[in-house]
Amino acid sequence: MDVTLTSKEVITQIQRLHNEGKSLRKKEVKQVYPDLMRSALYYYPSWQHALEESKIS
């Protein structure tokens, strides 16, 4: 799996998207930000875990 972001960058991007009011639904993130989703699922067991780690869910 080709991961382009660090775990810290994943969390930072999730928080940024949240602060900008962007959708964090898994399907939409996967379509619009595939690198973010790919990296998140590399570091965390699920998208929900990544959201929980970012302290926004």
Q: Please check the confidence at residue 16 and state whether its pLDDT lies above 70.
A: yes
Percent of the chain predicted with pLDDT > 90: 91
Summarised one tens digit per residue, pLDDT across range 27-43 is 999 999 999 999 999 99
pLDDT confidence of residue 27: 98
User: Which uninterrupted H or E stretch holds 18?
Assistant: helix 7-19
The pTM assigned to this predicted structure is 0.91
CB 43 within 8 A of CB 50: yes
Both tokens of 4, joined, read 């382009």
CB 18 within 8 A of CB 57: no
Query: For the CA atoms of the chain, what is the radius of gyration?
Result: 10
* Amino acid present at 19: N
pLDDT confidence of residue 1: 66
Q: Cα-Cα-Cα-Cα dihedral of 13, 4, 8, 23, to 10°?
A: 20
